[in-house]
Chain A
Amino acid sequence: MPDDANAFQTALALILGGDPDLIGIVALSLQVSLSAVLIAALIALPLGAALALWRFPGRGAVIVMLNALMGLPPVVAGLAVYLLLSRAGPLGEFGLLFTPGAMVIAQVILVLPIIAALTRQQVEELHGEYREQLTSLGVSRPRRIPTLLWDARLGLTTVMLAGFGRASAEVGAVMIVGGNIDGVTRVMTTAIVLETSKGNLPLALGLGMVLLVLVALVNAAAHLVGETAQRRLG
Chain B
Amino acid sequence: MKKAGLTLVAIGLAGLSLGVSARDEAPYIILASTTSTEASGLFDAIIPPFTEKTGIEVRVVAVGTGQAFEIARRGDADSLLVHDTAGEKRFVEEGYGSERADVMANDFVLIGPGEDPAGISEADTVEQAFTRIAEAAAPFASRGDDSGTNRAERRLWQAAGVEPGGEWYRELGSGMGPTLNTAAGMNAYVMADRATWVAFDNRQDLELLFEGDEALFNPYGSVLIAPERHPHLKHDLAEQWHEWLLSEQGQAAIADFEVKGQPLFFPSAAE
Q: How far is the CA of A98 from the CA of B29 in the complex (A)?
A: 11
Q: Is A155 an interface residue (CB 8 A)?
A: no
Closest to B13 in A: A38
Q: Which of B38, B59, B178, B230 has the most CB of A within 10 A?
A: B59
Q: How far is the CA of A92 from the CA of B76 in the complex (A)?
A: 9
B96 CB to closest chain A CB (Å) equals 12
DSSP majority for the B interface?
helix
User: Which of B99-107, B117-125, B146-154, B200-208 touches A?
Assistant: B200-208
Closest to A197 in B: B177
Q: Is A196 an interface residue (CB 8 A)?
A: yes
Closest to A203 in B: B201
Q: Which of A92, A97, A150, A197 contacts B175 (CB 8 A)?
A: A197
User: Which of A56-64, A175-183, A208-216 touches B?
Assistant: A175-183
Chain B residues lying within 8 Å of A184, measured Cβ to Cβ, are 23, 59
Do B24 and A99 touch (CB < 8 A)?
yes
Do B62 and A180 touch (CB < 8 A)?
yes
Q: Is A200 an interface residue (CB 8 A)?
A: yes
Q: Is B161 an interface residue (CB 8 A)?
A: no
If A88-B74, A98-B30 touch, does A198 touch B200 (CB 8 Å cutoff)?
Answer: yes
Do A199 and B60 touch (CB < 8 A)?
no
Do A196 and B177 touch (CB < 8 A)?
yes
Chain B residues lying within 8 Å of A180, measured Cβ to Cβ, are 61-62
If A35-B20, A100-B20, A184-B23 touch, does A196 touch B178 (CB 8 Å cutoff)?
Answer: yes
Closest to A95 in B: B232
Q: Is B138 an interface residue (CB 8 A)?
A: no
Q: Is A142 an interface residue (CB 8 A)?
A: no
Closest to A34 in B: B16
Q: Is A9 an interface residue (CB 8 A)?
A: no
Q: How far is the CA of A148 from the CA of B21 in the complex (A)?
A: 34
Do B13 and A86 touch (CB < 8 A)?
no
Q: Which of B16, B75, B180, B201 contacts A31 (CB 8 A)?
A: B16
Q: Which of A31, A35, A87, A146 contacts B76 (CB 8 A)?
A: A87
If A38-B13, A87-B76, A87-B230 touch, does A199 touch B201 (CB 8 Å cutoff)?
Answer: yes
Interface flags for B109-129 (1: CB within 8 Å of A; 0: not) read: 000000000000000000000
Interface residue count on the A side (C-beta < 8 Å): 34
Which of chain B's residues 199-223 have a Cβ closer than 8 Å to chain A? Answer: 199-203
Do B16 and A38 touch (CB < 8 A)?
yes
Chain B residues lying within 8 Å of A118, measured Cβ to Cβ, are none
B192 CB to closest chain A CB (Å) equals 11
Which of chain B's residues 25-71 have a Cβ closer than 8 Å to chain A? Answer: 30, 35, 38-39, 43-44, 59-62
Do B203 and A199 touch (CB < 8 A)?
yes
Which of chain A's residues 87-115 have a Cβ closer than 8 Å to chain B? Answer: 87-89, 92-93, 95, 97-101, 104
B146 CB to closest chain A CB (Å) equals 16
Q: Which of A39, A97, A99, A181 contacts B13 (CB 8 A)?
A: A39
Do B232 and A87 touch (CB < 8 A)?
yes
Do A88 and B75 touch (CB < 8 A)?
yes
Do B61 and A100 touch (CB < 8 A)?
no
Closest to B41 in A: A198
Q: Which of A92, A97, A182, A198 has the most CB of B within 10 A?
A: A198
Q: Is B176 an interface residue (CB 8 A)?
A: yes
Closest to B175 in A: A197
Closest to B38 in A: A194
Chain B residues lying within 8 Å of A197, measured Cβ to Cβ, are 35, 39, 175-178, 181
Q: How far is the CA of A186 from the CA of B60 in the complex (A)?
A: 11
Do B13 and A201 touch (CB < 8 A)?
no
Q: Is B260 an interface residue (CB 8 A)?
A: no
Chain A residues lying within 8 Å of B38, measured Cβ to Cβ, are 194
Chain A residues lying within 8 Å of B252, measured Cβ to Cβ, are none
If A150-B2, A199-B201 touch, does A31 touch B19 (CB 8 Å cutoff)?
Answer: yes
Q: Which of A34, A100, A146, A196 contacts B23 (CB 8 A)?
A: A100
A36 CB to closest chain B CB (Å) equals 10
Chain B residues lying within 8 Å of A32, measured Cβ to Cβ, are 20
Complex A-B: 22 CB contacts under 8 Å: A31-B16, A34-B16, A38-B9, A42-B13, A86-B76, A87-B75, A88-B74, A89-B74, A92-B75, A97-B76, A99-B24, A101-B20, A182-B44, A182-B60, A196-B181, A197-B175, A197-B176, A197-B181, A198-B201, A199-B200, A200-B201, A201-B201
Q: Which 4 A-B pairs have the closest CB atoms?
A: A197-B177, A199-B202, A87-B75, A179-B61
Binding site for B on A (CB under 8 A): 31-32, 34-35, 38-39, 42, 86-89, 92-93, 95, 97-101, 104, 146, 150, 179-182, 184, 194, 196-201
